[in-house]
Amino acid sequence: MQLEGWVTAETVRRWLEESDRVLVAAGAGLSAAAGYDYGDAERFRELLPGLHRLGLRSRYLFGTPLPKDMMWGYWAVHIDDIRHSPGPNPLYRRLRTLVGERDHWVVTSNVDALFARSGFAADRVFTPQGDYGRLQCTVPCTPETWPSKPFLDRILAVYDRETGRVTDPRALPRCPNCGADVFPNVRVGPEFVDRDYLPTGRRLVRWLDDAPTDSTLLVLELGAGFNTPGVIRLPMEDVVRRTPRARLVRINPLHPDVPADLGERALSVPLGADRFLDRLER
pLDDT, one tens digit for every residue, the chain (282 residues): 544 455 688 999 999 999 999 999 999 999 999 999 999 999 999 999 999 999 999 999 877 899 999 999 999 999 999 999 888 999 999 999 999 999 999 999 999 999 999 999 999 999 999 999 999 999 999 999 999 999 999 999 999 999 999 999 999 999 999 999 999 999 999 999 999 999 999 999 999 999 999 999 999 999 999 988 999 999 999 999 999 999 999 999 999 999 999 999 999 999 999 999 999 987
Q: Do the Cβ atoms of 157 and 150 come closer than 8 Å? A: no
Architecture of domain 1-35+89-128+197-282: 3-Layer(aba) Sandwich (3.40)
Render pLDDT for 199-249 as a digit per residue (tens, 0 to 9).
999 999 999 999 999 999 999 999 999 988 999 999 999 999 999 999 999
Q: What is the pLDDT of residue 265?
A: 96
Q: Domain spans of the chain?
A: 1-35+89-128+197-282, 37-88+131-193
Which residues lie closer than 8 Å to 165 by C-beta, 6 or more apart? 50, 67, 69, 70, 73, 159
Q: What is the pLDDT of residue 3?
A: 45
Q: How far apart are the C-alpha atoms of 160 and 139, rounded to whole Å?
A: 29
CA-CA-CA-CA dihedral for 240, 37, 12, 210, to nearest 10:
30
Strands 146-147 and 130-137: antiparallel
Closest CA relative to residue 27, chosen from 112, 134, 104, 97 = 112
Angle, in degrees to the nearest 10, between helices 273-281 and 5-17: 80
Angle, in degrees to the nearest 10, between helices 148-157 and 68-82: 120
Give whole-number Cα distances, 233 to 11, 114, 139, 168, 249, in Å. Answer: 21, 19, 30, 43, 11
Residue type, 274: D
